[in-house]
Amino acid sequence: MVDAVVFDLDGVLVDSEPVWERVRRRYVDTSGGRWQPDTQRRLMGMSTGEWARYLGELGVPGSAEQIATDVVDAMAREYQQSLPVIDGAPEVVRRIAGHWPLGLASSSPRRLIDVALATMGLTELFRVTLSTEEVPRGKPAPDAYLAVAQRLGVPADRCVAVEDSSNGVRSAAAAGMRVVAIPHGSYPLDPDAEQLAAVVLPHVTDLTEATVPAARSPRIQEISWGRMTVDGLGEGKDFKLYPGGGRPWDWAETGTRHEPGIQPADVEELLANGATRVVLSEGFDGRLRVDPATLRFLQERAVEVQVARTDEAVELYNSLAAREPVGGLFHSTC
């Protein structure tokens, strides 16, 4: 269950990452520092104090406080000239606010958060807004997301976070939140961060009431005759998998047999847990059938279904699980 949605600001609602990079790079260069190829990636998600100290390590003279003041002043001037709002982002926030309480956890200074939200007309829609300046550690530490959840009065594991950066995804996941990742085209997610995301979307306008509660379907790590290993679920013989989890599949629950095969009752749980596509395995030897009534049941609900022998079904399911809410029934013998 989802009880709240927590947005990041930079890169999700405002296309500010290129502005931050331009401003900080210019500041480092004109101050006699040395901007490195990985500097922008490292800075993403850091709190103001953290990135100011990091710029000092690059050779920028002066105290962290002075560095932060200079850079934030330059950012404020950029925002006053033109706030780089991501197309469609304000409309998405307004729509999501009609369904869940909203929070915001941003690495931007409080001054810039307030300016950005006011300019977009979104200030009143967020019950809680927080800058990582206001917690001990910035992203990827979980402090900001934990604090927002606490102030919302919602357990962190019942919040969905919307993030764009690797450090942001790591932060929200470490807090126990499910994460919808919307990576910036210029700053793709690191592989480990992508694996932490429940859903990866191409653009913020793809964030809907349906995609918010979605969770990644668990990956099948290994399968052999009579045994399967599934992420987060361990080992078993047969499994029923769906977005956000799964469990061992006991045929006796529905009276399923090899003939006529998988019943509509076997797949109902997959759809109830958000699967929009289904993969059904016939066993390694193809002896487990699928009742035609089951195929009709899925087709009537506009759910795409693939039926294949177990080895092929596992390969297909794993490829789908990386990018969409898929469910599956897997039999590891006959």
Select from 110, 125, 116, 123 the least CA-distant residue to 83.
116
One-letter identity of residue 115: V
| 164 has a pLDDT exceeding 90 | yes
Q: Indicate the SS3 state at residue 2.
A: coil
Q: For residues 241 and 277, what is the distance between their CA atoms, to the nearest angstrom?
A: 12
Among 323, 4, 326, 324, CA closest to 162:
4
**Contact between residue 5 and residue 159 where contact means Cβ atoms under 8 Å apart:** yes
Q: What average pLDDT does the segment 48-62 reach?
A: 94
- Domain extent listing, the chain: 1-214, 220-331
Split at pLDDT 50, 70, 90, the class of 158 is confident
Q: Tokens 């987060």: give the residue.
A: 232
Whose CA is closest to 127, among 149, 95, 155, 156?
Answer: 149
Q: What is the pLDDT of residues 180-219, one digit of tens each?
A: 999 988 889 999 999 899 889 999 999 988 778 766 788 9
**Residue 67 corresponds to which tokens in the numbers above?**
């560095």
- To the nearest 10 degrees (0 to 180), the angle between helices 166-174 and 143-152 is 50
Strand partners, 180: 162, 199
pLDDT score at 214: 66
C-alpha to C-alpha distance for 36 and 273, rounded to whole angstroms:
45
Q: Write the class of the CATH domain 1-214.
A: alpha beta
User: Class of 220-331 per CATH?
Assistant: alpha beta
- Is residue 102 within 8 A of residue 96, CB to CB? The reply is yes
Which pLDDT belongs to residue 244? 76
How buried is 314 (Cβ within 10 angstroms: 0-12 exposed, 13-18 middle, 19+ buried)?
buried
